[in-house]
Amino acid sequence: MKRIAALTMVRNDDFYLRKWVEYYGAQLGKENLYIYFDGTDQVIAPFCEGTHAELVEKIGHQVVEAEKGRLRFLSDKAAALLAGGYDLVIGVDADEFVVVDPKLGKSLAEYLDGCRIGVSLSALGLDFGQKLGEEGDICEGRPFLQQRHYAQIGTRYTKPSIVAQPCVWGSGFHRIKGHNFHIGKDLYLMHFGYFDKRRLEERFSDADRLSQGWGKHMKKRARTIRYATELPARDFDRWTVFARCCQSVVRPPYAWNKPAMFELRIVVRIPERFWNIV
């Protein structure tokens, strides 16, 4: 079985990190999780016990500067883990979960063990929103997918998150510099960063994030809730097959190593087979 690590960096984000540790700990083993807290003013939560969690000096003070520095740092850490004996490293934000379609009956570790990966592997991006009028505020104690059933198939979240060789991730893990990408069949990256209106409004008022310039970014991404609410929900299995094929061949003119999908806005309803995973 391949040795697989997962790493992330967080700041003031215990809500998502708790779920991240729970999910990837079950899939890979907590001893294979590496968590870096951005700033020595942070506190390592008790639920991180059993993982490799550490405080590091704060990286940058404005969003663009900080994000570039963060991904340089994480790229170096991933390279060190690969050099230290890991076969694969998964790099994701704390609100992102790489999920295998339950119809395969495999864990994430089992799925990746059967993959031949040259440099990286991407999962098809699903950006979850909240269908207002149907879905209420998120309850932390219940699985996310029991409460959120609508996601936009998003090229922004089809990321080369899984690496088999040292490389340099671009900002947000959105690309690997100098390399193309391959999208794994029946593999999804589920993003929950903008899936709850109340929590999003709280993040808009977070002085720490606003001081770094995240306000404009968060308001722009809040449209995920509007799409989930207003756009018709399409068949998951049909449209994810289409999206995987489309994103595998279409590229934006400004970045050949990122996926594109003709600016299509496709919302799908998540099948019940996924509801207990995250």
Residue environment code for 82-111, b if the CB has 16+ CB neighbours within 10 A, otherwise e: beeebebbbbbbbbbbbbbbeeeeeebbeb
Residue 62 reports pLDDT greater than 60: no
**What's the mean pLDDT in 47-65?**
83
Give 209's pLDDT tier (boundaries 50, 70, 90): low
pLDDT: which is higher, 212 or 86 = 86
81 has pLDDT over 80: yes
Q: Is 1 helix (H, G, I), strand (E, B) or coil?
A: coil
What are the CA-CA distances from residue 235 to residues 103, 216, 238 (Å)?
16, 32, 6
> Has residue 213 got a pLDDT over 60?
no
CA 130, distance to chain mean position in Å, is: 17
At residue 260's C-alpha, the angle toward residues 255 and 265, to 5°, is 140
> Which tokens is 35 given?
């968590």
pLDDT of residue 176: 92
User: Based on C-alpha coordinates, what's the Rg of the chain?
Assistant: 18
pLDDT band (50, 70, 90) for residue 17? very high
Q: Structural domain of residue 213, as residue ranges?
A: 4-274
- For residues 260 and 238, give the distance between their C-alpha atoms in angstroms, rounded to a whole number: 18
Question: What is the mean predicted confidence (pLDDT) over 71-91?
Answer: 96
Count of domains observed in the chain: 1
Mean pLDDT over residues 246-273, rounded? 90
Is the per-residue pLDDT at 231 higher than 70? yes
Distance, in Å, from the CA atom of 65 to the CA atom of 10, rounded to the nearest integer, reads: 16
State residue 2's pLDDT score.
Answer: 96
Instruction: Answer for the pair 189, 126: CB distance below 8 angstroms, yes or no.
Output: yes
pLDDT tens-place string over residues 66-75: 778 888 999 9
State the pLDDT at residue 50: 97
Burial of residue 31, with CB atoms counted within 10 A of its CB: 0-12 exposed, 13-18 middle, 19 or more buried: exposed
What pLDDT is stored for residue 174 in this prediction?
Answer: 87
Residue 257: predicted pLDDT: 84
